[in-house]
Structure 1
Amino acid sequence: MKPTPSSRPCPSCNNAMQVHELPGQYDSAVEIDFCFSCQGIWFDSMENLRLAPAAVATMFKEMHQHRDTPHAPLAGRLRCPQCRGGLVQGFDVVRSGRFITHRCESRHGRFSSFSSFMIEKGFVRQLTKPEIADIAKKVGVINCSNCGAPVDLRKEDSCSHCRSALSLLDPGAVEKALQNYAKAPSAHAAPATAVADALVAMARERSRTQRLDVWPSDTRLTGAGLAVDLFAVGLTLVSSLWDD
């Protein structure tokens, strides 16, 4: 079934979300609302638990296909698309890490960022100390994939704002998680230098589009406006998984 415009607004930007009908448990169907601009997913109450294994893999592919959609930051106050009440921010912890959720106080559902969904479903792994050290040398500052706050890797190895460990959407982690969801192609964990190099390439491309024309080769990419997030670079690293 092709996606259709939702009758409900995104909790952040208020634009119409996009409805995707996905396989549910016991041969049912589940309609999930996406906002690719805000990189968020709205789940009606308990809807995330009704997804069939194949649906999780399909959702990942949809996120990857829309990876180049211009990204809007989340609003300071998120509202339930059903009752329009304010959403309450909270945290959940699973084996693969800590992630942020935004829940309706009237229990109509919850809003999750793409990166939070990836953590919840085990598609990520935490960065190793050598990876963090290498990124600190080449980039300096990144954005937390969980909350978006800047993280200066020269001073900290986790997000000081939401206290989340730095995690990466990684080919090896995706392959391992997909073994429980769908047939996964062979993949290997990205080497430490690949993460930093991909972040550098992304920051340079962003600088080019912003018409910044001076990049000394010995300058670390530490400008706050050029900080890039690990979720975006993770999508780049695992893109080969979905090339047919």
Structure 2
Amino acid sequence: MPALPSCPSCRQPMQVHRFASNMGPELELDICFACQGLWFDRHENLKLSPRAVVELFRLLHEHRADQHHPLPERMACPRCDTSLARGFDVVRSGRYMVYRCARQHGRFSTFSSFMVEKGFVRHMTRPEIDDLAKRVGAIYCTSCGAPVDIRKDHACPYCRAAFSLIDPDAVVRAMEGYAQAGARARLAGAAAPPVDIGDALVALERDHARAERERQQRAFSSASSADDVSFTGDLLAAGVALVWALVKD
């Protein structure tokens, strides 16, 4: 049995998941949930079928509350171990960061970059940013994954990307016609509800805090407070939770 490919970021074995292709045979994508990253062999990112995107959303939702590792400065291709080159691609919904193998073996994308690539995000409005600034200390940049102090920065200081979030309207439009029958009927008959991204972030952080308290209690250490509003909000995880509520069976 061949060894599983190593994650370009943490170098631990990645999980292999099969997805439907729009070009015939199934695709085998390598995923590291600890680093929230996907490895695409050459052009695989263009071959995912619409149904595969639904399945990917399911996986992202299942792992939305996982603790994840920051990406290191150097990442290596899982095929040839050469350093990956960091760069940007631009689509209608914005620009996103990718890490490419110079020998053209493929590319590494974070979950958030993949969502930007597929057009499932939109730029946040000024009122949304102001509301979040009152409720969270920082957010993770949807383009590069860096933590950003939303109270003082108006764009990511690392990659200069505008603040973005997953747009349920865009996801609904993309998923109509290929989601499960019950979800398809539901999507066709109703518009997406308003995005209360702040509430979703707070709920997600409370889940994190509860899990952390349980870990600390098991280790006989002091519990942390779930009321601390200085946490870093993960817009990707919160957006996936909101969208999955629309498309699940």
Q: TM-score band (shorter)?
A: 0.7 to 0.9
Which residues of 2 match residues 190-205 of structure 1 at below 5 A?
190-191=194-195, 194-205=196-207
1:18 maps to a residue whose letter is: Q
Q: Are 1:90 and 2:87 an aligned pair? A: yes
> Is there any run of 5+ residues in structure 1 with no aligned partner, and where?
none
Q: Are 1:35 and 2:32 an aligned pair? A: yes
Q: CA deviation at 1:236?
A: 2.2
Q: CA deviation at 1:143?
A: 2.0
Equivalent residues, number? 232
Q: CA deviation at 1:40?
A: 0.6
Point out the more displaced range, 156-165 or 168-177. Answer: 168-177
Aligned to 2:218: none
2:7 maps to a residue whose letter is: C
Aligned to 1:68: 65
2:234 maps to a residue whose letter is: D
Structure 1 length normalisation: TM-score? 0.85
Whole-angstrom distance in 2 between the partners of 1:116 and 1:214: 29
Aligned to 1:229: 234
Change (3 A) 1:118 1:180: farther
Change (3 A) 1:59 1:205: closer
* CA RMSD, 1 decimal: 2.4
Contact 2:65 2:208 in 1 (8 A): no
Aligned to 1:133: 130
Aligned to 1:213: 225
Q: Are 1:56 and 2:53 an aligned pair? A: yes
Whole-angstrom distance in 2 between the partners of 1:39 and 1:165: 20
Structure 2 counterpart of 1:80, from 77, 81, 87: 77
Q: CA deviation at 1:94?
A: 0.5
> Is there any run of 5+ residues in structure 2 with no aligned partner, and where?
214-222
Q: CA deviation at 1:23?
A: 1.7
Point out the more displaced range, 83-92 or 6-15. Answer: 6-15
Whole-angstrom distance in 1 between the partners of 2:98 and 2:117: 10
Q: CA deviation at 1:189?
A: 4.6
Deviations along 1:185-214, one digit per CA (max 9) or x if unpaired, are 4251534xx212222333344445252238
Q: CA deviation at 1:154?
A: 2.5
Whole-angstrom distance in 2 between the partners of 1:66 and 1:197: 19
Change (3 A) 1:180 1:99: farther
Aligned to 1:160: 157
Whole-angstrom distance in 1 between the partners of 2:38 and 2:226: 38
Q: Are 1:104 and 2:106 an aligned pair? A: no
Which secondary structure state, in structure 2, belongs to the residue aligned with residue 132 of structure 1? helix
Structure 2 length normalisation: TM-score? 0.83
Contact 1:53 1:180 in 2 (8 A): no
Q: CA deviation at 1:32?
A: 1.0
Moved over 4 A (4+): 180-185
Change (3 A) 1:82 1:214: closer
Q: Are 1:15 and 2:20 an aligned pair? A: no
Change (3 A) 1:8 1:126: same
Aligned to 1:118: 115
Q: CA deviation at 1:41?
A: 0.5
Deviations along 1:85-106, one digit per CA (max 9) or x if unpaired, are 0001100110111110000011
Point out the more displaced range, 127-136 or 26-35. Answer: 26-35
Contact 1:168 1:231 in 2 (8 A): yes
